[in-house]
Amino acid sequence: MSFVDKFVAEILTLQVALYHSNSRLHARTDSEALHDLRIAVRRIRSLLRPMRSISEVVALNTAAAEVGRLTTPARDLEVMIQELDRRGFPDQAQIRKTRLTSSYSRILKSLALKNLFIQLDEWPSTFRSVEVSGGLKHLQPQIKKR
């Protein structure tokens, strides 16, 4: 398997993880769905970091960054609720759970999340076009090192 194939496969694996965590967040099946979504977004951004200067990567990186910014307050609220419950303040935790539910809805309906999925769908062919034009030759050793 070539370098580009491995790299695309890695991003596609993270895309599947995003879809999975998005579905779990939508269904409210567990308290770790948002956390897992954020981890997948951070991993995508980490993989793209060496290629930030390539114009074909900018849109995906920007979309991932926007989802990260959008989800940070909700994740902070999740952690606060867990800590309040752990320390014996269930009333304060319950007040914040209502806010958290509306935050989940806002995230799921957001243009940022929809845009990230659109960018992920378009990214493999865009990335392969960069390879065909020879735009990855100088970056390949850096990316392999990471």
- The answer to whether residue 100 scores a pLDDT higher than 80 is yes
Amino acid at 35: H
Read off the pTM: 0.89
What's the CATH architecture for 3-145? Answer: Up-down Bundle (1.20)
Q: What is the per-residue pLDDT for 56?
A: 81
The rounded percent of the chain whose pLDDT value lies above 70 is 91
Dihedral, 104, 82, 15, 106 alpha carbons, nearest 10: 10
Residue 44 has pLDDT above 80, yes or no: yes
Per-domain boundaries in the chain = 3-145
CB 107 within 8 A of CB 113: yes
Residue 43: partners with Cβ closer than 8 Å, 6 or more residues away = 14
Q: Tens of pLDDT along 46-75?
A: 999 988 878 888 999 999 999 999 999 999
For 116-128, what is the mean pLDDT? 92
Whether the CA torsion 60, 63, 65, 67 is positive or negative: it is negative
